[in-house]
Amino acid sequence: MNEIVTLDEFIIKRQKDFQYATGELTGLLRDIGVAAKIINREVNKAGLLNILGAAKVENASGDVVQKLDIYANEKLISCLQNSGECCGIASEENEDFIKVDGIDGQNGKYVVVFDPLDGSSNIDVNVSVGTIFGIYRRKSDKKGDVQLNDFLQKGSDLVAAGYVLYGTSTLLVYSTGNGVNGFTLDPTIGEFCLSHKNIQIPKRGNYYSVNQGYYLKFDVEMRRYIDYCCDMNLRLRYIGSMASDIHRILFQGGIFLYPNTRKYPQGKLRLLYECNPLSFIVEQAGGKAMNCKLNRILDIPTEHLHQRTTIAIGSPDMVDEMKSFVERYTMPPISKAEENAAI
């Protein structure tokens, strides 16, 4: 029989290989693993919760069943707050960051950022959702309170990142900058067990993933690239949960795109909570991630907590191909002379 390695055992074993080896980072990853198990339990009975919710509304008890993304947010925050291993939290669901008090007056040296439930519109129809997280080392003095600048770091400063997928099985994938590993939740023992060692993304794949309904809203260079994907008979898969779409691409190869549209001129997805952690994972697995202006996602300066970005991410050869379409088909800006001639 193969040896079973649980997430906790793996994290502890890896702690000594890690250049900043401290119990704090190990503890943080474990806290996230615990929150993921609690969220998983609720996700699995989401349909049931709706039934109970309806009954409660009728008996006028005043209890309102929380939307699952609020529930996931609260569980993650409370798991991280209780352990006191980080000094601050920023979540897609909260406008501002949250300060966390250390235990025995000792402030933690990490901050955690997350999208507690990614693709939450999938919940009501039993389709997979995820949790995405990133961990940064704080920059401000450990003696004082956590500062906004502790969160406004580039993706390349991430110390660890990962995601949890609540799908046909529940999987936690993470990296501390030394490869990517995946753990499947064994519900019979309630533990995440190592199931996918040293994940490597294929150089190219047969899938492209984009909301093709917005095709006419994309810039011409992106439309040309999508036309090319169609010409190449690539298969279109789009779940509406970035974590789930990236998960397929990580294992089977492909490209995920969320370009700018008229509604979202800067792109829709959040740099801090979605794009940076997933780009960190994809790069660690040998892939690439850039915005539609061809800047590496992990190098984009973070100016505010809820900053959005466009993104093209996935198999390295496919991202390079997308890049060549952008270089070839981007319209040059209209010059003053052309503008005047048009009047």
Q: Residues in the site for Mn ion, rule: CB under 5 A?
A: 92, 115, 117-118
Footprint on residues 78-97 left by ligand AHG (CB under 6 A):
92
Burial of 317 (0-12, 13-18, 19+ CB in 10 A): middle
Q: How far is CA 242 from CA 30, 122, 192, 217, 321, in A?
A: 23, 11, 22, 20, 21
Determine which residue in the list 115, 150, 221, 283 makes contact with ligand AHG, applying CB under 6 A. Answer: 115
Would you count residue 307 as binding ligand AHG (CB under 6 A)? no
Would you count residue 119 as binding ligand AHG (CB under 6 A)? yes
Q: How far is the CB of 145 from ligand AHG (least distance, A)?
A: 28
Would you count residue 302 as binding ligand AHG (CB under 6 A)? no
The option from ligand AHG, Mn ion, none interacting with 171 (CB < 5 to 8 A, set by class) reads: none
Distance between CA atoms of 310 and 232, rounded to whole angstroms? 24
| HSE of 5, CA atoms in CB hemisphere, 13 A | 13
Size of the site for ligand AHG (CB under 6 A): 10
- Active-site residue flag, 117: yes
Residue span 192-211 as binding mask against ligand AHG, x where in contact by CB under 6 A, dash where not? -------------------x
Q: How far is CA 321 from CA 35, 71, 232, 286, 328, in A?
A: 39, 40, 12, 16, 11
Q: How far is the CB of 313 from ligand AHG (least distance, A)?
A: 11
Nearer to ligand AHG, 26 or 170 (CB): 170
Q: Which of 24, 31, 42, 69 is catalytic?
A: 69
The string over 16-31, giving b where at least 16 C-beta atoms fall within 10 Å of a residue's C-beta and e elsewhere, is eebeeeeebbbbbbbb
Determine which residue in the list 68, 76, 160, 242 makes contact with ligand AHG, applying CB under 6 A. Answer: 242
**Structure tokens of 12?**
């502890």
- Active-site residue flag, 69: yes
Which sign, positive or negative, has the C-alpha torsion 8, 14, 18, 20?
Answer: positive
| Element of type H or E holding 141 | none
Q: Which of 24, 31, 85, 115 is catalytic?
A: 115
- Active-site residue flag, 118: yes
- The DSSP result for 29-85, as a single string, is HHHHHHHHHHHHHHHHTHHHHHHHHHHHHHTT-S--PPPHHHHHHHHHHHHHHHHT-
Q: How far is the CB of 180 from Mn ion (least distance, A)?
A: 20
Nearer to ligand AHG, 29 or 275 (CB): 275
Q: How far is the CB of 281 from Mn ion (least distance, A)?
A: 15
The catalytic residues are: 63, 69, 92-93, 115, 117-118, 274
Site of interaction with ligand AHG (CB under 6 A): 92, 115, 118-120, 211, 240-242, 268
